[in-house]
Amino acid sequence: MSKIILITGATSGFGKAIAEKFASKGWNCIITGRRKERLETLSKSLLEKNKVQVLSLNFDVRNREDVFTQLSNLPSEWQQIDILVNNAGLALGRDNFDEASIDDWETMIDTNVKGLLYVSKAIVPYFIKNKKGHIINIGSTAAKDVYPMGNVYCATKHAVDSISQSQRIELLQHKIKVTAIHPGAAETEFSDIRFKGDKVKSEAVYAGYDALQANDIADVAYYCATLPMHVCINDLVITCTAQANSFFTHKG
Ligand code: NDP
Ligand code: 8X3
């Protein structure tokens, strides 16, 4: 029987690449995001290319009621879910603490932390009932280092790191694996969103070196997801070769 993966934020970047990777290996995919048209396009392409089943769910992870309405009563054939990838997330702004926008802070906290908690809480009951499951949380190098003008984005990713650790401790009794993948700078729509469409700023982030690509993260997620039952990658930091950590990237 085909395995099932649910990916939040599958309309772009890592989430889309993860859906494409797993579908190419025959996994049935539950894809989610706010942009309905993109979900429909991705769903069509996954079906055409891979002959897998796709369930497309359109919701905002910040909306607690919608998360539980959409996820708590999955059609029975989708309830044997194997993997949850908590990927939906964003950075907004790169400003000093005194100048940063409180609205941006709230959006990051609501999406990266509370959204991840809501989705996990809605899916874990299936894992417990099925006596199997694997949560893959997408953190960041910003979960490991705090960099200047990263304030609340870094805080949300530190929260993802600590939530991953506590999920691992508390869900172990149910045979649920928890993996946190912490990527460094990767060329997706991330910086376009962070800099609110300012192309000069977003393109500068990836200039002068070979940044990670979304497919690199999809490959790593697939590796983590397909290890034997008795093996779990708990915490994994991945950067492009040119990047040592949040502070040091060798350009040129
Ligand atoms: P993208 O902007 O390309 O993709 C972000 C995805 O998150 C989109 O599919 C978007 O879907 C979804 N999303 C954002 N907000 C919400 C929301 N409120 N509800 C539902 N879905 C939402 O960025 P990446 O692929 O790069 O980012 C994916 C994850 O990886 C994020 O958690 C990010 O913090 C993390 N990360 C990114 C790095 C990078 O350098 N790119 C490095 C380290 C970590 P939609 O807008 O349709 O809802
Ligand atoms: C995204 C990578 O360096 O912008 O999490 O924090 S970084």
Spans of all domains in the chain: 4-238
CATH code for the structural domain at 4-238: 3.40.50.720
Shortest-distance Cα residue to atom 2 of ligand 2: 185
> How confident is the model at residue 252, as a pLDDT?
82
Catalytic annotation, residues: 153
* Binding site membership of 17 for ligand 2 (Cβ less than 6 Å): no
Ligand 1 atom with the smallest distance to the CA of 111 is 18
Ligand 1 atom with the smallest distance to the CA of 62 is 18
Query: In this structure, what are the phi and psi dihedrals at residue 236, rounded to the nearest 5 degrees?
Result: -140, 120
What are the start-end ranges of the H helices in the chain?
13-24, 36-50, 64-71, 102-108, 116-130, 151-171, 190-194, 199-205, 214-225
The ligand placed nearest to the CA atom of residue 112 is 1
Whole-model pTM?
0.98
Cα-based distances in Å from 125 to 7, 71, 73: 17, 11, 11
**Site to substitute for ligand 2 among 144, 153, 239, 243, most atoms within 8 A of C-beta:** 153
State the ipTM, two decimals: 0.99
**Site to substitute for ligand 2 among 94, 95, 140, most atoms within 8 A of C-beta:** 140
Dist. CA 180–CA 147, nearest whole Å: 20
| 167 CA → ligand 2 middle, Å | 23
The ligand placed nearest to the CA atom of residue 246 is 2
- pLDDT string in tens for the chain (252-residue length): 799 999 999 999 999 999 999 999 999 999 999 999 999 999 999 999 998 999 999 999 999 999 999 999 999 999 999 999 999 999 999 999 999 999 999 999 999 999 999 999 999 999 999 999 999 999 999 999 999 999 999 999 999 999 999 999 999 999 999 999 999 999 999 999 999 999 999 999 999 999 999 999 999 999 999 999 999 999 999 999 999 999 999 998
* Binding site membership of 60 for ligand 1 (Cβ less than 6 Å): yes
> How confident is the model at residue 209, as a pLDDT?
97
Ligand 2 atom with the smallest distance to the CA of 246 is 3
